[in-house]
Chain A
């Protein structure tokens, strides 16, 4: 996916290395190779590759990862602007 790079310095991803137990789950679930475990600690090696899918945070047993997950879809975001985020949680906004 090195040919496909999106905007830099936008991801909300953060990793608390102190809390990390080095289990490696983030490295497994991330579809973009954002994490790498080295010496029993995960590190963010490609933050700009992060698409904020939230898989890592959802599966971190130490709750050491923070990210605001969401869908990177213009049509969906326009709908959240119009009907609000609550509308979306009720499934009104469509994401195809």
Chain B
């Protein structure tokens, strides 16, 4: 059931907004039962859509159904609702992101015919939304694969957007009954998981590699299924990087709780064995240094990536980390001693370098061989800096 479900908000959107309802008191049935109605709260919602089926919910992005030889096909809206936007934002912050999928199968936009193009995509809702937004005035069939709610490129890398899945979905959807041609347009980035030759062999459908970005799809179709070079190259613009920051931060929430606990415990150790007062006063300083590391590694590095020196991300993170650490030292110069300042400096820099290195997972250009090479050099240095920071921090409590 869950794969046919969308949020309640979506459902509300589908059934029309409340303002379209007839005034509550003018409904004849209700007039007869005025007393009962008055004590039953808000007016009733609209009637169920004629497409409603027991046990299913109609998604907010479906505006109609089209009858085809393979059964009714949902026709989707090409404009996003407020609910879609709100859900996208929350997914970007890591909320509900792991279950943000839609049911796989055939959908359509406009009024497609048997010779209309078939666009294949992933069932991550953000991906699906990005595609349908670009399809106003396009008559097309959309074959949504079950990529377990993961975007095209990541799903291809995990063999979810795969030859297997394309072949299977073509067969189970009855696509051959709906279209007269035998051609599928796949997003270029799915080539990591899909072999065009094998799809042709096993399903009879020829794969045409579409553009990387959904916003080029119209131009691609209008040009007679031709992509120019810019459509075939990934980009990593400032806005493409900035949208990644919230989700990077959301991954840090859980470990941060543990790290803060550790910071306050270690900060309390001293000549009195454990001092609550020190745990707080020194702990706040260390937490501040840790937060500066997060800021410089997980926010500044993605934001100004290409202007930072070095090719290795751990180096980029260390550079922003040193600058952030410098500010920490300047701020705390009066309250912390030299040992403590050194410890805080190392802490901010190590955290920033590590988080900068972690950003490799979000970029469209870092090779696994490169990341592994960089990690083998960087992790020992980061670990050493972290360890030295802890030793100096605890030691300082005994000398101050």
Contacts and interface: CB of A to CB of B under 8 A. Distances in A.
Interface of A: 1, 3-8, 10-12, 25, 28-33, 49-56, 58-59, 61, 68-78, 91, 95-96
B272 interface: no
B306 A3 contact: yes
The 9 closest A-B pairs by CB, nearest first: A73-B361, A70-B368, A72-B366, A55-B191, A29-B191, A7-B370, A3-B306, A10-B369, A52-B367
B361 A75 contact: yes
A57 B159 CA distance: 14
Contact of B364 (A7, A31, A55, A56): A31
A74 B306 contact: no
Contact of B367 (A11, A31, A95): A11
- Residue from the set A5, A7, A50 with the largest chain B CB neighbour count within 10 Å: A7
A4 B365 CA distance: 7
Nearest to A61: B197
B306 to A, nearest CB: 4
Interface string B202-219: 000000010010000000
Contact of B188 (A29, A51, A58, A77): A29
B370 A10 contact: yes
11 contacts: A1-B233, A1-B234, A6-B367, A10-B370, A58-B193, A68-B369, A72-B367, A74-B313, A74-B375, A91-B158, A96-B361
Nearest to B148: A91
A30 B231 CA distance: 11
A86 B371 CA distance: 20
Nearest to B160: A91
B278 interface: no
A70 B232 CA distance: 20
Contacts of A51: 364-367
Interface in B215-232: 229, 232
Contact of A32 (B192, B194, B233): B233
Contacts of B247: 96
Given A28-B232, A77-B375, A95-B154, A71 B368 contact: yes
B99 interface: no
